[in-house]
Structure 1
């Protein structure tokens, strides 16, 4: 199938599909006219890539275990769990940072409101 059809079937833009191919996540055969030709199984691969992207993983992280996951169940791929743990740790760190930023903003708002009240008295 051509890239436009793959895009239509998966809901992924042609640009993203080209990016996935550049990263080695999907492969195509070049037809004599230069068009990409994808296997029908590529739709499953793209759906799997979408799942992992929605978990916040990068294409580099996905590339590290994608072949294993497509051949086996995720539970049989030793490479997956460390990536999940690292991603969760990163998210927890970001949440702490965001909580600190939120606290700082609340403090600034309260400070400015107090200054405004003093000014208006």
Structure 2
């Protein structure tokens, strides 16, 4: 028996807008652009993808799952993501080597420091 990680599903008030934002943030391609399900992947035939689905209720607490990204240049990547519409978020992390941001719908994610060695 084997499992393949197909995608991570993200609830969204506006799946198209949020999916477009993440496609721009990650440089990924759109593989499904329906109004109620919007899927992006690193390449059309590469998994896993991110699938944005429409939900009516708004998020009420901190994410129980979040994504971590490790760029070559943390400061430059944080600046680029902020220019796309991300914002800084305090989830009680204190002073750390990573930066916590949120996408336009408030989903937290971390931008890690560059890997050393």
TM-score of the superposed pair, with normalisation by structure 1: 0.23
TM-score of the superposed pair, with normalisation by structure 2: 0.24
Q: Would you tell me which structure has more strand in proportion to its own residues?
A: 2
Name the structure, 1 or 2, with higher relative contact order (CA <8 Å, separation 6+).
2
Q: Would you tell me which structure has more helix in proportion to its own residues?
A: 1
